[in-house]
A and B are shown apart, each in its own frame.
Chain A
Amino acid sequence: MEIKNFTITKRDGSKDQFSLDKIMNAVLKAFDSVQQPVDLGSISQILSHLDISNDIKVEDIQNQVEEALMKEGYYKVAKSFMLYRQAHSEDRETLAKLQFLADYCESVNAATGSKYDANANVEHKNIATLIGELPKSNFIRLNRRLLTDRIKKMYGKQLADEYIDLLTHHFIYKNDETSLANYCASITMYPWLIGGTTSIGGNSTAPTNLKSFCGGFVNMVFMVSSMLSGACATPEFLMYMNYFIGMEYGKDYYKNPERVVDLSVKQRSIDKVITDYFEQIVYSLNQPTGARNYQAVFWNVAYYDKYYFESLFGNFYFPDGSQPDWDGLSWLQKRFMKWFNAERTKTMLTFPVETMALLTKDGEPMDKEWGDFTAEMYSEGHSFFTYMSDNADSLSSCCRLRNEIQDNGFSYTLGAGGVSTGSKSVLTVNLNRCIQYAVNHNMDYKDYLGQVIDLCHKVQTAYNENLKELQAHGMLPLFDAGYINISRQYLTIGINGLVEAAEFMGLKITPNDEYKEFVQGVLGIVEKYNKQYRTKDLLFNCEMIPAENVGVKHAKWDREDGYFVPRDCYNSYFYVVEDDSLNIIDKFKLHGAPYIEHLTGGSALHMNLEEHLSKQQYAQLLKVAAKEGCNYFTFNIPNTICNDCGTIDKRYLHECPHCHSKNVDYMTRIIGYLKRVSNFSQARQEEASRRYYATKQKYTVKEEAKANA
């Protein structure tokens, strides 16, 4: 081997002078370690096999040394050399973890410090959250291995390799790869109502009174959530609570809520008893949870108008043979919303995420009382989602999940059919990269997308097989006990970078025909494969993912690889968040029926406003949403929270109204849930500051213009 002035590439990417001495030393040590003598001639013979080129990687040199040792018949020495390498690589991994630990402790907040799955739902950074962070990389490796092994079995090695290739080159993104559990679920609580938590491994029997219902409910939600990686929705929560209140204080309890029913010295009224239970449940469920990496559980509830209620629970029977009582529930729903809205001025309560389900007819809410109440609650500054449909055939019971109701029936073993749904797993397509890659390589982008999406469906099908195997081994009691049904849960194809891809294609992001056709074309491809792969047991849907951290990652990766990236965080809307030329009606149009048609898994329009509107104005906007077919939305007005005195105000202020401090933070809904802006990751905070809140100054006629008039 000729010795020249080579450089080698070290593990961290830096260059170093090639040194033959170092290799010789390593080889001598390997011989030494197995007490095998060796002479210089043999060493030269071994080294003569090496083929060193400029900038060769350390790993490659070591591979060659292993092979050279074996070629010369020194098997024992080669084995020792390999073990030595392995020990060092384990050392390096521990070192990397130590480095991560140090960095995490230094980072400004938990979301910024998280390497793999930044999530603003973690409010504090401490030993508990750190414990959750450390094994994330191992989970990613494990999940990939589980999935690729299954793909190989089902579709062959080539597809498994393609999957990893698309994943590592960021054409697709596997959501929640840091957890082993299936994603999110809207559950029916009927199995719990009938049998308690024993069927999912708990020790409590069925609730029998209001007290055991409220206490048991909290435990049940914690248990269910610890077996999911995402949200847990309990669409029947208030309906069941109404039943238990009725059992305790009579079905018409709501007619006289001031009646004193607590004979202790406190002399509490029915209303006080009820709101005390609200407090117990809501505060308990907003606690950070050990089983979930010190995050609160992602708890969701739903409210219904009369028509949705009848459609979902018209055939429902409680264990005592009675049916749910609409008048009581209607009162209780309103009481809960009013209480929760007021409670949120005392402290920041993220959960439950609430969805109001309204049935519409001819562009107006059918149930006028509940349409009005929805507008009233928005005008009082309450922050919640509204789902509107002209047919009770679908429901959104969670901050992002929409489902087709396939079964409104009631069964004495499973309860109400319509509420049980969810998403087993989300696999997201980075549309911006896929489309740019195809166009840059002179391919038809629709053909190319079709290939990628087809692969996604196969991967999801493989995931489902793994899930079935877990279930077969009794690992998924939520399914076995009937809280959720494996064949009613969706496999979700997520999309991200849609607006950015459209901008790359030269389209204007306004309500115009070209953009509409582009959206329909792209989402239509997903829909086509969703239908093609659908079977009796496999359901697919398509969702524009909230992308709290994926949107930032995609933008960063794509920019590094030389793609056109117009912003630092890919949008999770059909419009550009920082675009101030679009008016509110344009935004409703861009989330209207033609755009969301194929988005079967839902996407929520976050209508960002700087100031609260009046009840009449919200009522009008509900009509606009109904007319445009924008079925899922919320109004988002940042709430002000004073860092000095803790005052919370529903308005978007620059100064604390109580102590006049300018040290204020805001609570907003950047993704599904309401959180302090300072809890979002650094990149998301920047997006939030650029986000366009419709304001009097910016959005509407300018103050100056008014002054001029």
Chain B
Amino acid sequence: MLKYVNTGIVFQEIPDEVTLAINISNCPCHCPGCHSHYLWEDIGLPLNTDAIDDFLAEFGNDITCISFMGGDADPKAVNLLAQYIHEEYPTFKVAWYSGRLRIPSIVNQTDFDYIKVGPYIKHLGALKSPTTNQRLYRRLEDNTFEDITSRFWKK
């Protein structure tokens, strides 16, 4: 079962959106140099459709996007929640910050509006670094994905 530790309203992670970021625990990636060891453990509150309902009751139209930060231990569960949001709350965008190199085939990528992939590799840097291995994609109307990582490099 997915669990989350905390949430935040963020601006930098998804360009042009006001995003509710949900920090998911039990991360299997264990990137060397990770400073969020607390997210390696299986801790926090259950992240299910009830939790999603509560978040949207709280934030409503104040936000434009919901982003799952992690959840790589159970990608199918993340997919189901994304599907749930699009069905129940069609005005919101859904994003996923995954630490894997690629999205597993069991996940239906078109259930997401933004997908970030790639582990954190210290010498390459995070998204803001032009040498980063990480990529952020945005889904276009024809359901293909556009690489918008360069948005992070603009001054």
Interface residues of A (CB under 8 A from B): 363, 583-585, 588, 609, 611, 613-617, 620-621, 623-624, 627-628, 696, 699-709
Contacts and interface: CB of A to CB of B under 8 A. Distances in A.
B12 A709 contact: no
Contacts of B35: 702-704, 707-708
Given A363-B61, A609-B11, A707-B35, 10 more contacts: A583-B8, A585-B59, A617-B11, A621-B18, A700-B9, A700-B13, A702-B35, A703-B126, A708-B35, A709-B97
Contacts of B97: 706, 709
A702 B36 contact: yes
B8 A709 contact: no
Nearest to B100: A709
Nearest to B7: A583
Given A620-B64, A624-B62, A705 B36 contact: yes
Interface string B29-66: 10101111001100000000000000000010111100
Interface of B: 8-13, 15-18, 21, 23, 27, 29, 31, 33-36, 39-40, 59, 61-64, 69-70, 72, 97-99, 116, 120, 126-127
Given A707-B33, A709-B69, A701 B63 contact: no
Contacts of B126: 703, 706-707
Given A614-B16, A706-B127, A700 B8 contact: yes
A660 to B, nearest CB: 15
Residue of A627, A699, A700 with most partner-chain B CB within 10 A:
A700
A584 B23 CA distance: 17
A252 B83 CA distance: 54
B12 A700 contact: yes
Nearest to A582: B9
Contacts of B59: 585
A707 B9 CA distance: 18
A628 B61 CA distance: 11
Contacts, number: 96
A709 B29 contact: yes
Contacts of B61: 363, 623, 627
Contact of A701 (B23, B27, B99): B23
Contacts of B34: 704, 707-708
A708 B99 contact: yes
Contact of A696 (B12, B16, B18): B12
A590 to B, nearest CB: 13
14 contacts: A363-B61, A584-B9, A620-B64, A696-B10, A704-B35, A705-B23, A705-B36, A706-B13, A706-B97, A706-B126, A707-B33, A708-B29, A708-B120, A709-B27
A212 B61 CA distance: 50
A705 to B, nearest CB: 5
Contacts of A588: 62
B11 A585 contact: no
Q: Which 5 A-B pairs have the closest CB atoms?
A: A707-B120, A704-B35, A700-B10, A616-B16, A583-B9
Contacts of B29: 708-709
A320 to B, nearest CB: 47
B92 to A, nearest CB: 12
B64 A708 contact: no
Nearest to A621: B18
B69 A585 contact: no
Nearest to B97: A709
A702 B13 CA distance: 10
Nearest to B127: A706
Contacts of B12: 611, 696, 700
A709 B70 contact: yes
Contacts of A706: 13, 69, 97, 120, 126-127
A248 to B, nearest CB: 40
B62 A708 contact: no
A82 B29 CA distance: 87
A581 to B, nearest CB: 9
